[in-house]
Amino acid sequence: MELKPPVGSAVHRAPSSWRPDSWRGHRAEQQPDWPDLQALERVENTIALQPPLVLPDEILGLRRSLADVAAGEGFLLQAGDCAERFSSCTEDGVRSKLRVILQVAILLTYGSGMPVVKVGRISGQFAKPRSRPTEVVDAVELPAYRGDIVNSPEFTAEARRADPERLLRAYQHSSASLNVLRALSRGGFADLDQAHAWNQEFVRRSDAGRQYEKAADDITWALRFMSACGVDTGSQSALHQIELFTSHEALLPHYEQALTRYDEKRDAWFDTSAHMVWIGDRTRQLDGAHVELLSGITNPIGIKVGPSTTPAQLRALCERLDPERAPGRLVMISRLGAGKAAELLPPLLRAVKSTGHHVVWACDPMHGNTFVSESGYKTRRLSDITAEVAEFFAVHKEEGVHPGGIHLELTGDDVTECLGGGMDEILDTHLGTRYETACDPRLNAGQSIELAFRVAELLREHHSAR
């Protein structure tokens, strides 16, 4: 059993020099070239008058759950789209994403016997950092697509122009998506009784889908067993609804500032655009605008930890973003790539441990494993993804640190974006069939389920060895 960290104050005290706009004195990487700054300011002012998307009480609830995870008593599942589209903020779009998140979550819970904290990359994951600011096609150079919150993916000058009105549309689509999400989480759809119904027809036919059906049968039996023993399962709300928190990369400080609100009761600031926000691997500069903005808010903060991260940088980020050493305030999301964790991860784990920060360590096995296939598609191999997760668990065992979570890009749709997967293996020649992502390749429902079984097994092994 790992030692429980001291219970810290979940409310975060902003540094005295911090203001919601103090980030403006720092360099912000990965920003669009806004053509009309006055229009941008008008939109910011409009958003600042809108109601919050999430409330401080909910954010503090997530902080408490993550504190448990940091103490080794839970597991974080953070999953969803790489880049949400405005057009997929529909009832069907949200339902299909929630369905696969529920399937993965139930397999992790059932397989590991641990509470799973569920956080979607959903209801606001619209902004994308890019490796190049422009894209060249047939000798024509245009600004890169930076997500629906900035511009549109079609390759025309008009579509690629950064349009500040899109910030407001992002707020509206987040709000509509969240509304459906909240309704589905509370109502019958998320009821454990429905575990079979979450398995869509096209998944059911696959190997992973059939395995899932067996697990769902077991869960149904376990529920019947509890009722037969006299447990009133009908009155247990935890069996009939779920809590799904929202998250996105806090890439556009103008948008995040407009939704950052002061809570008088707690004398603290909250970014009400999502429950959790994260800093990308390209924007984690200690003296940069993103770190400055997030250093003042109470929300849990994710930090993407890529292969270039040094132990000294990580220590400095911990000090800056979590000076009170509050358990679960930070989620370190390692995305190193298969074959690299054994060498790169131990010094990073030790650096954080030695400073007394009780962070959650989560594994993003997606972003270090992207490559362009022979057929020209940006893709990832399920085998690399699984390998990185296994390495992550092995290193954590070696270092005596709780492997606290997993961060995935997935979709409930029947897409062909990542290679591999059981008997229904996706090959390079299949990628073009349904390659629908607006940015990075996502696991389809069958691949997500296959991975979930593997992660549940790793979690179970890890805990039975304790």
Q: Rule CB under 6 A: say whether 129 interacts with ligand PEP.
A: yes
**Angle formed at CA 142 by CA 137 and CA 143, multiple of 5 degrees:** 130
Q: What DSSP character marks residue 419? A: B
Q: Rule CB under 5 A: say whether 82 interacts with Co ion.
A: yes
In the bound state with ligand PEP, the residue whose beta carbon lies nearer, of 177 and 206, is 177
Q: Are 150 and 252 within 8 A, CB to CB?
A: yes
**Angle formed at CA 75 by CA 73 and CA 78, multiple of 5 degrees:** 150
Q: Rule CB under 5 A: say whether 116 interacts with Co ion.
A: no
Q: Rule CB under 6 A: say whether 396 interacts with ligand PEP.
A: no
Choose the one of ligand PEP, Co ion, none that binds residue 120, judging by a C-beta under 5 to 8 angstroms depending on kind: none
Q: What residues from 435 to 464 belong to the interface with Co ion (CB under 5 A)?
A: 440
Q: Give the nearest distance from C-beta 54 to Co ion in angstroms.
A: 22
The region that residue 141 occupies, defined by phi over 0 for left and psi between -120 and 50 for alpha, beta otherwise, is beta
Whether the CA torsion 70, 270, 312, 16 is positive or negative: it is negative
In the bound state with ligand PEP, the residue whose beta carbon lies nearer, of 72 and 280, is 280
Q: Rule CB under 6 A: say whether 85 interacts with ligand PEP.
A: no
CA distance 89 to 275: 18
In the bound state with Co ion, the residue whose beta carbon lies nearer, of 263 and 388, is 388
Q: Which two tokens stand for residue 124?
A: 């606001």
CA distance 42 to 447: 44
Q: Rule CB under 6 A: say whether 82 interacts with ligand PEP.
A: yes
In the bound state with Co ion, the residue whose beta carbon lies nearer, of 163 and 409, is 409
- In single-letter form, the type of residue at position 110 comes to Y
Q: Which residue in the set 85, 99, 160, 304 belongs to the binding site for ligand PEP (CB under 6 A)? A: 304
Q: Rule CB under 6 A: say whether 281 interacts with ligand PEP.
A: yes
In the bound state with ligand PEP, the residue whose beta carbon lies nearer, of 216 and 438, is 438
Choose the one of ligand PEP, Co ion, none that binds residue 129, judging by a C-beta under 5 to 8 angstroms depending on kind: ligand PEP
CA gyration radius, the chain? 21
Q: Which residue has the tokens 């926000």?
A: 277
Q: Give the nearest distance from C-beta 129 to ligand PEP in angstroms.
A: 5
Choose the one of Co ion, ligand PEP, none that binds residue 12, judging by a C-beta under 5 to 8 angstroms depending on kind: none
Strand partners, 79: 120, 408
Segment lying near ligand PEP (by CB under 6 A), choices 36-44, 236-244, 258-266, 274-282: 274-282
Q: Rule CB under 6 A: say whether 335 interacts with ligand PEP.
A: yes
Q: Are strands 140-143 and 134-137 parallel, antiparallel or unpaired?
A: antiparallel
Q: Rule CB under 6 A: say whether 367 interacts with ligand PEP.
A: yes
Segment lying near Co ion (by CB under 5 A), choices 54-62, 286-294, 434-442, 448-456: 434-442
Q: Rule CB under 5 A: say whether 84 interacts with Co ion.
A: no
Residue 118: CB partners within 8 Å, gap ≥ 6?
77, 101, 105, 242, 243, 244, 245
Angle between helices 91-112 and 445-464 (to 10 degrees): 30
Choose the one of ligand PEP, Co ion, none that binds residue 304, judging by a C-beta under 5 to 8 angstroms depending on kind: ligand PEP
Q: Distance from CA of residue 215 to its chain's centroid?
A: 25
Give the interface size with ligand PEP as a residue count (CB under 6 A): 9
Q: Rule CB under 5 A: say whether 364 interacts with Co ion.
A: no
Q: SS3 of 369, please?
A: coil
In the bound state with ligand PEP, the residue whose beta carbon lies nearer, of 56 and 280, is 280
Enumerate the H helices of 114-206 as residue ranges.
157-160, 165-186, 201-204
- Applying CB under 5 A, the residues found at the interface with Co ion are 82, 440
Footprint of ligand PEP (CB under 6 A): 82, 129, 280-282, 304, 335, 367, 440
